[in-house]
Structure 1
């Protein structure tokens, strides 16, 4: 069980607040599948914890994936996200609820995510003519966690609807993992097209939605909530493996701007030479990390029915199909057409 090292909420392992379990307990506490899965993931003790106690993030991720299988519900995370209220998301959720505009609420929520969990990277930033709200788990290797991803983006979507406009929908939803059986159910939840095998998990926003005024802010109340959050912030592990930090940057940049040594180093606040040294000490390089992420995305997208080579090439940051074809053949010894579904 992770624990505090000092009063600044620096934790030994990637962690999150036990309040994240409350919606699961509320919905499934009587289900034997849930009880068995809690035991399997070493979270059986969590029923006795306070909402702000810490549990291992990895155990929670495994719980969601296993419970999805046991309940035979491939979109469990997304459906769970629609059941959450602002208090379920902690004080960061309450800040969104008190914000005057969508932009202000999202910015506050993103900056305070670490009050709920560590080893996470959420960003709200321009993406061409649109805005992107992206979410990644960092520092836990390369495994993808579809249920947590869909839970996070679905709960954020639901919170935005609760806070500002019940009719709101993102323009698109991007997910890094392969399509589940219930794609249509996902699109009904998000009320938007869902694209899989993407470089990053993200919601896309129309800029004109972001600055519409919805309420006057209660500034004294917001100040109280923010002060409370300061006491809860968890360390986001600045000493996480450099490879994990680079993977997160690439996920945000790929397909949007060139992923060069200079651009990645700048995002991490390092010089290119220092970044190279850090990666070499971990036995890797930017070239290797970029290749591996492109391979993963390519394999996922090529498996999707009706995948177009031009779309895959663009998602990977290649100028055209020919450049992607050559790169893929150099990685695998095969043409990408051999991996296409159907």
Structure 2
């Protein structure tokens, strides 16, 4: 599961849940606004930590968490789904763009006699009961949010072992729930699939589809582990934690394992750090309201002179010279 990841917007669901419990800071620093993804290892660890801190029954934590899901937690993909005409169209969009939200295993949507089945295998590993139950419960809850109706699952299967009490699952999903199955799946009825969506908007949908396609292309452009590591570094850089050990800790890996994985991907930690800092630096410098000293601090440099030297190495220009060049009107 090292190479898989979830959208940072999806992880925000967990931090919002803890804030409602009066434990906003219990999980540490949430994903930064500039983060797109969070590693699956970090998501697993955060879920376990939050479950242990939640005062409710541990066995049904994922079901309680999922009740607060909203389209914003799926980012642009969620809003594109909400703007679809029917629930069936929304689910097909979620399947099309699922890798930009959750890529533990490939989602497959196929018709069955009762309606539509959304299924996940175990080819890329088993992320565990907490991850799976949160994802499937969130999907069904999202269908209810989209339609404003009490959508019920005709059937739900999980690959994980059967818990002591399955009644809370049947109550939540509204249908039979099985455990220890070959794949994870949820079946929805034809009647529910035809339900219109509250936010249907054809013009908005066209715009959001274009944005979702662009996001999907960005996801495919960077190898998955490198993308995860780079996004994790963004949050660390902002807080001044820029060592290999800091990154390894955030990914729930040992420094030695991370170093080996970096080498396998043709990277060194310093190269990855430099590329990420350069990307952030250029974004900050395009904003004329951000002072150069602030840029240096945001990138984890204790002195502006150190940032200036690093930026010259990356671009061949001083930061101020680069900023002025970007602001110069083109012919």
Q: Which residue matches 2:246? A: none
State yes or no: 1:226 paired with 2:216.
no
8 Å CA contact 1:118–1:235 kept in 2: the answer is no
Q: Which residue matches 2:37? A: 54
| Residue 34 of structure 1, CA deviation | 8.1
Q: Which residue matches 2:167? A: 184
Q: Considering only aligned residues, what root-mean-square deviation do their CA atoms show, in Å?
A: 3.1
SS in 1 for 2:220: coil
| Residue 145 of structure 1, CA deviation | 1.0
TM-score normalised by the chain length of structure 1: 0.56
Q: Identify if the C-alpha distance between structure 1 residues 129 and 162 changes in structure 2 by more than 3 Å, giving closer, same or farther.
A: closer
8 Å CA contact 1:75–1:147 kept in 2: the answer is no
What is the total number of aligned residue pairs between the two structures? 220
Rounded Cα–Cα distance in structure 1 between residues aligned with 2:162 and 2:202: 43
8 Å CA contact 1:79–1:189 kept in 2: the answer is no
Q: Which runs of no fewer than 5 residues in structure 1 stay unpaired?
A: 1-11, 39-43, 241-342
8 Å CA contact 1:115–1:232 kept in 2: the answer is yes
State yes or no: 1:118 paired with 2:103.
yes
TM-score normalised by the chain length of structure 2: 0.58
8 Å CA contact 1:57–1:117 kept in 2: the answer is no
Tell which structure's C-alpha radius of gyration is larger.
2
Aligned match for 1:27, one of 2, 17, 36: 17
State yes or no: 1:94 paired with 2:79.
yes
| Residue 154 of structure 1, CA deviation | 0.9
| Residue 227 of structure 1, CA deviation | 1.8
Rounded Cα–Cα distance in structure 1 between residues aligned with 2:172 and 2:185: 15
**Per-residue Cα deviation, 1:181-223 (whole angstroms, up to 9, x for no partner):** 4422222211222111111111112234323545794222111
| Residue 35 of structure 1, CA deviation | 5.6
Q: Identify if the C-alpha distance between structure 1 residues 212 and 30 changes in structure 2 by more than 3 Å, giving closer, same or farther.
A: closer
8 Å CA contact 1:34–1:67 kept in 2: the answer is no
Q: Which residue matches 1:277? A: none
Q: Identify if the C-alpha distance between structure 1 residues 197 and 218 changes in structure 2 by more than 3 Å, giving closer, same or farther.
A: same
Aligned match for 1:197, one of 180, 186, 198: 180
Query: Runs of 4 or more off by more than 6 Å in structure 1?
Result: 30-34, 236-240
Rounded Cα–Cα distance in structure 2 between residues aligned with 1:89 and 1:137: 22
SS in 1 for 2:108: strand
Q: Which runs of no fewer than 5 residues in structure 2 stay unpaired?
A: 226-331
**Per-residue Cα deviation, 1:130-173 (whole angstroms, up to 9, x for no partner):** 4211235653x4x4511111111111111111112422201111
State yes or no: 1:146 paired with 2:123.
no
Q: Which residue matches 2:8? A: 18
Residues 1-342 of structure 1 mapped to structure 2, 5 A cutoff: 13-29=3-19, 38=27, 44-45=28-29, 47=30, 49-50=32-33, 52-71=35-54, 73-136=58-121, 138-139=123-124, 141=125, 143-213=126-196, 217-233=200-216, 234-235=219-220
Rounded Cα–Cα distance in structure 1 between residues aligned with 2:224 and 2:74: 26
